[in-house]
Amino acid sequence: MSVDERREQLIAVALELFSRRAPEEVSIDDIAAAAGASRPLVYHYFPGKQALYEESLRRAGRELSARFEEPMEGPLSERLLRVMGRYLDFVQSHGPGFAALLRGGSVAASAGTSAVIDDVRRAAQEQILAHLAIPSPSPGLRLTVRAWIANAEITSLEWLGERSVPLEELQLHLVQEFVAALTLTAAREPALAAELGSFLADEHPDGPTGRLVRDLAGLFAVPGILDAVTALATGEPASGDSESSGADGGSKSSGPGGVGGADGTGGAATG
Amino acid sequence: MSVDERREQLIAVALELFSRRAPEEVSIDDIAAAAGASRPLVYHYFPGKQALYEESLRRAGRELSARFEEPMEGPLSERLLRVMGRYLDFVQSHGPGFAALLRGGSVAASAGTSAVIDDVRRAAQEQILAHLAIPSPSPGLRLTVRAWIANAEITSLEWLGERSVPLEELQLHLVQEFVAALTLTAAREPALAAELGSFLADEHPDGPTGRLVRDLAGLFAVPGILDAVTALATGEPASGDSESSGADGGSKSSGPGGVGGADGTGGAATG
């Protein structure tokens, strides 16, 4: 093996071990043994375990960032669904070893490891913003994307510990949460709202967004929900105890679209 | 000062300094000077800076957890709005110094610091679940709450760096994101959906949930959105390019509430 090949091989072997076990449970001897190399040889290439750990994390970060790349074609939620499939696959294979680092409780955390994690988060954010194809994303939209990435991280790390739902459900839910977060941001930002219609027009009824729309619409069939939402939309109290502030609450619905929304929900009531 | 008082005073002074500056920018000498004590006296109480740092973080964690406590009265979103007001106040006063630790990139991170952070997150989760008052919260609901806490953390830390929106907006948006996350979870979990109606019935039109409902309803007045949502709800393609999968997409709307949902949105279209 050439010098470069040996170095790459040691990183690959270390990444394999650090993906399955916490860094404190992996020794230089373990890495040497798995690579079929001697301990001095490993030290010839890397000053110590931390350097090898950071190098393998860097490799993992590059592999993960590469999985975010997705052709700019088809409904947005289906692109994200494919990306999340690859992401969760990565979480399953590398998560057990790196979970403590991502949760912020690892002894191996350093300026080097946070730089890698920040780079991956930034790559995820930039990819999503690129797919949204909005010329100048607002601070609010950037924050929404960043917060959703944190949601995906935390949710998948928690899932790794408990595996309380099937992986495919987690994948779908995360995508639907992105669609919901984007919609919420659009409800506050007229410029984004103007784009939302064309995103939604490209979605398929059997895709993540279509299923979300029907699941949410299904809530209106649950006793009490439609009445309560109608009361909130029109500003007329549905129950006695909300009378105190209900009197002037209705004034808010005179804003753009407020009346349309009240009509829309009212229409559903009689549908 | 008694031994206990002196110890408490040193922690209070250290917390004040560690709240404003990164731990590497605070020395034992700074703490001694601010406390009007000698360097040897500080070392008499604490073995070193890390121990004092962890102790002041523990104090900060207790103070923050105490802010999560809120009477079990009134609309849920207004309770959460008050809690978030106190939380964001804490973020403003203590965030600058502890931000790196929460972001996972601090040299002062240790098993001790992660235990404190985990305790605070757990306290936040337990408080929210207590207010929801659902006897056995599902794994999905617990995950939703945990992910929203991560969202609140990340969003407020990012805000601290840029302050790109007024604090009151951030406070409102975080609460509305919780309401949205709860609604999304209810759309997947019939047991939670059954509770959602009574949560919503208690909300005021001028509270965070009422404003959210009207903002979302307002989206239907934006060109293209209502047509696209109606198409997704009914499974009939709104645009030519979704025809390929639109044919069988409608079959999904035969689930519980699907028909009601489709009717509801259709009603809005003709309203």
Count of C-beta atoms within a 10 Å radius of residue A136: 6
Query: Looking at beta carbons, which residues of chain B come within 8 Å of A200?
Result: 224-225, 228-229, 232
**Is A239 an interface residue toward B (CB < 8 Å)?**
yes
With tokens 């967004």, the residue in question is: A209
The residue in chain A having the minimum alpha-carbon distance to the alpha carbon of residue B243 is A204
pLDDT digits (tens, 9 = 90+) for B32-49: 999 999 999 999 999 999
Where does the pLDDT of residue B236 fall: very low under 50, low under 70, confident under 90, or very high at 90 and above? confident
- Which residues neighbour A247 within 8 Å (Cβ) at sequence distance 6 or greater? none
pLDDT digits (tens, 9 = 90+) for B204-230: 999 999 999 999 999 999 999 999 999
pLDDT attached to residue B238: 52
Q: Please return the burial class of B9, using the count of CB atoms within 10 Å of its CB with bins 0-12, 13-18 and 19+.
A: middle
Does residue A241 surpass a pLDDT of 50? Answer: no
**Mean pLDDT of the A227-232 span:** 95
Count of C-beta atoms within a 10 Å radius of residue A259: 17
Cα separations in angstroms, A125 against A146, A150, B225: 6, 11, 25
pTM: 0.84
Across the interface, do B235 and A264 touch by the CB < 8 Å criterion? no
Mean pLDDT score of chain B: 87
Chain centre distance of CA A249: 35
The residue in chain B having the minimum alpha-carbon distance to the alpha carbon of residue A103 is B104
Does residue B193 surpass a pLDDT of 90? Answer: yes
Q: Which amino acid is at B57?
A: L
Across the interface, do B258 and A158 touch by the CB < 8 Å criterion? no
Query: Looking at beta carbons, which residues of chain B come within 8 Å of A255?
Result: 214, 218
- Please name the member of B117, B193, B228 whose beta carbon is closest to the beta carbon of A201: B228
Does residue B167 surpass a pLDDT of 60? Answer: yes
pLDDT attached to residue A198: 93
Does residue B246 surpass a pLDDT of 50? Answer: no
Min Cα separation A4/chain B (Å): 30
Sign of dihedral through CA atoms B191, B193, B197, B199?
positive
Residue B196 per-residue DSSP state: H
Count of C-beta atoms within a 10 Å radius of residue B38: 12
pLDDT attached to residue A268: 36
- Which residues neighbour B74 within 8 Å (Cβ) at sequence distance 6 or greater? B202
Helix (H, G, I), strand (E, B) or coil at B269: helix
Residue burial A212-237, b: 16+ Cβ < 10 Å; e: rest: bbbbbbbbbbbebbbbbbbbbbbbbb
Across the interface, do A221 and B260 touch by the CB < 8 Å criterion? yes
Chain centre distance of CA A190: 24
Query: Looking at beta carbons, which residues of chain B come within 8 Å of A187?
Result: 212, 215-216, 218-219
Q: Percent of chain A scored above 90 by pLDDT?
A: 74
Chain centre distance of CA A214: 22
**Mean pLDDT of the B166-181 span:** 96
With tokens 């090949």, the residue in question is: A5
**Is A248 an interface residue toward B (CB < 8 Å)?**
yes
| Nearest CA-CA partner of B149 in A187, A153, A179 | A153
pLDDT attached to residue A237: 59
**Is A254 an interface residue toward B (CB < 8 Å)?**
no
**Mean pLDDT of the B12-39 span:** 95
**Mean pLDDT of the A236-256 span:** 43
**Is A240 an interface residue toward B (CB < 8 Å)?**
no
- Which residues neighbour A38 within 8 Å (Cβ) at sequence distance 6 or greater? A32
Under 8 Å between Cβ of A227 and B192: no
